[in-house]
Amino acid sequence: MLELFPEPEEPKRPWSVTRLNREVRSCLEGTIGKVWIEGEVSNLRRQPSGHQYFSLKDEACQISCVLFRSAGASGPALRDGMQVELSGQISVYEPRGQYQVVVRRVQPRGAGELEAKLRALQEKLRAEGLFDPARKRTLPPHPSRVGVVTSPSGAAIRDFLHILRRRAPHLAVFIAPVRVQGRGAAHEIAAAIESFSETGRSGFPAVDVVVVTRGGGSLEDLWEFNEEVVARAIAACRIPVISAVGHEIDHTTSDLAADVRAPTPSAAAEILSADRAETLQRLSSLLRRLQRETEAMLELARSRLDARLSSAGFLLPSRRIADLRQQTDDLRMRGADAVRSHLDSLIQRTRHASSVLRAREPSARLAAWHQSLGQLELRQTRAVGASLAIRRQGQSRAAHALELLGPRQTLARGFTMTLDAQRRPLTSAAQAAREDKITTVFADGEVASRPEN
């Protein structure tokens, strides 16, 4: 007879709770591992250590999450009720047997959809040939009149004009004032570009180059320069167009459609006031060289990083440090609750003693009750002192354990940590490349250097 549900064998010895939680943690991390989920932030608790604990919920369920200070430094400021998307590692906090997500990255919900919409539009325009390098025109070698499409009150136009006044005061600049953000701004930008292109019909002054620019911002802030109407207006413009939108790391659809992309408004002014042919040729050569060397370095760094991340020697200390961080926060909260509860109990007992004294005419036994009250106060002081001493010992042991597994011990094993000028940790080569000066921290000292761009 086939037995569908055989009785499990009894183990020789029962498991401890610690072993069970550890096995559950290993199973979750090994089977599920990294997750990407969305939901609403609730019950947000920020600790003095900088770590954040909260629940992520939907209509039916919720899950506990922890965002350590190092992972949350570059993300948005969380608040209860905020809709977010987050990625992290599924895990178990063993001391409480708590199933949770250790968050590595968090962003407002909808940012991914906006990026997908942008990629779809750019693929469509690329298929039509709007971004084809063959259709892009070179800038005139010595322009004398420049048309600028931007907000007249923004920082971008101030930086642009400041550099032109210093490097090329002979250039005449004509500004078409438009909104650079908000509903309808894209159509204003496109109309201004078309007006510079059709000067005979629009009454705009004739110019040699059109610059479309604004300062930096988020993807939502720069979205008007990703609209299809702006890209088509740039592509159809009869005059060469420079797109200088945002910062160097920002890449918009207008950048792809323009004849020349400037990483910043200031860079656009420098391009207009330099020797165009020589500068563009040299920049193109340097860009190709930089791209080749960067790709080679990134590939080497990626392979080394993958090897180290997958090694047991790297995973175990980082996981233990994360546990100690959370355990320290847990002990701090439990200690504070215990002291508060004990003090409340002593206060209630003191109040009860006072009421008994009043009920029994304490004037006849005042000395005896004063003595009893003094003893109670002494016991209270000793109890609080003993409780605080125990908590301090626990905190000291946890701090000592954290120090043993902290960054100094990690540095002593051959690792290094790279800091920016404000001594904030850098986590990628792209971040280091944007710094003028970086500091590499070893176990026995520091070395200052400058990134080679």
Parent domain of 440: 412-449
Query: Is 130 found in the same domain as 256?
Result: yes
Query: Is 262 found in the same domain as 139?
Result: yes
Structure tokens at 432: 């280091």
Among 284, 308, 329, the domain-final residue is: 284
Query: Is 138 found in the same domain as 41?
Result: no
> In angstroms, rounded to a whole number, what is the distance separating the alpha carbons of residues 232 and 243?
13
Residue pair 189/217 in contact by the 8 Å Cβ criterion: no
> In angstroms, rounded to a whole number, what is the distance separating the alpha carbons of residues 78 and 66?
12
Query: Is 270 found in the same domain as 132?
Result: yes
Q: Is position 334 within any domain?
A: no
Alpha-carbon distances of 223 from 20, 74, 164, 183, rounded to whole Å: 51, 21, 27, 10
Query: Residue ranges of the chain with pLDDT lower than 70?
Result: 1-12, 74, 110-114, 218, 274-280, 309-318, 357, 359-365, 453
Q: Is position 429 within any domain?
A: yes
Query: Is 119 found in the same domain as 104?
Result: no
Q: Is the four-CA dihedral 246, 251, 253, 259 of positive or negative sign?
A: positive
Residue 255 backbone zone (phi > 0: left; psi -120 to 50: alpha; other: beta): alpha
> In angstroms, rounded to a whole number, what is the distance separating the alpha carbons of residues 21 and 27?
10
> What strands lie across the sheet with 417-419, from one edge to the other?
417-419, 438-442, 445-449
Query: Is 273 found in the same domain as 233?
Result: yes
Q: How far is CA 421 from the centre of its chain?
A: 18
Smallest Cα–Cα separation from 109: which of 72, 66, 63, 76?
A: 76
Q: 355-397 pLDDT, tens per residue?
A: 776 766 656 567 777 888 888 888 888 888 888 889 889 888 8
Give the dihedral of Cα atoms 290, 295, 300, 303; nearest 10 deg. 160
pTM of the model: 0.42
Query: Is 125 found in the same domain as 169?
Result: yes
Q: Is position 82 within any domain?
A: yes
Query: Is 140 found in the same domain as 93?
Result: no
Quick one: pLDDT at residue 110? 62
Q: Is position 4 within any domain?
A: no
Among 109, 124, 144, the domain-final residue is: 109
Three-state DSSP class for residue 220: coil
Facing residues of 212 across strands?
Answer: 149, 243
- For position 262, which CATH number holds? 3.40.50.261
> In angstroms, rounded to a whole number, what is the distance separating the alpha carbons of residues 261 and 263?
6
Quick one: pLDDT at residue 288? 87
Query: Is 173 found in the same domain as 67?
Result: no
Number of compact structural domains in the chain = 4
Query: Is 104 found in the same domain as 120?
Result: no
- For position 30, which CATH number holds? 2.40.50.140
Query: Is 271 found in the same domain as 134?
Result: yes
> In angstroms, rounded to a whole number, what is the distance separating the alpha carbons of residues 15 and 48?
36
Q: Is position 301 within any domain?
A: no
Three-state DSSP class for residue 435: coil
> In angstroms, rounded to a whole number, what is the distance separating the alpha carbons of residues 295 and 288?
11
> In angstroms, rounded to a whole number, what is the distance separating the alpha carbons of residues 163 and 159?
6
Quick one: pLDDT at residue 112? 60
Among 235, 256, 284, the domain-final residue is: 284
Smallest Cα–Cα separation from 93: which of 419, 331, 312?
A: 331
Token pair 């954040």: residue:
52
Alpha-carbon distances of 257 from 123, 137, 292, 338, rounded to whole Å: 12, 11, 24, 65
Residue pair 269/160 in contact by the 8 Å Cβ criterion: yes
Query: Is 104 found in the same domain as 122?
Result: no
CA diameter of the chain: 110
Three-state DSSP class for residue 428: coil
> In angstroms, rounded to a whole number, what is the distance separating the alpha carbons of residues 135 and 176?
25
Quick one: pLDDT at residue 106? 86
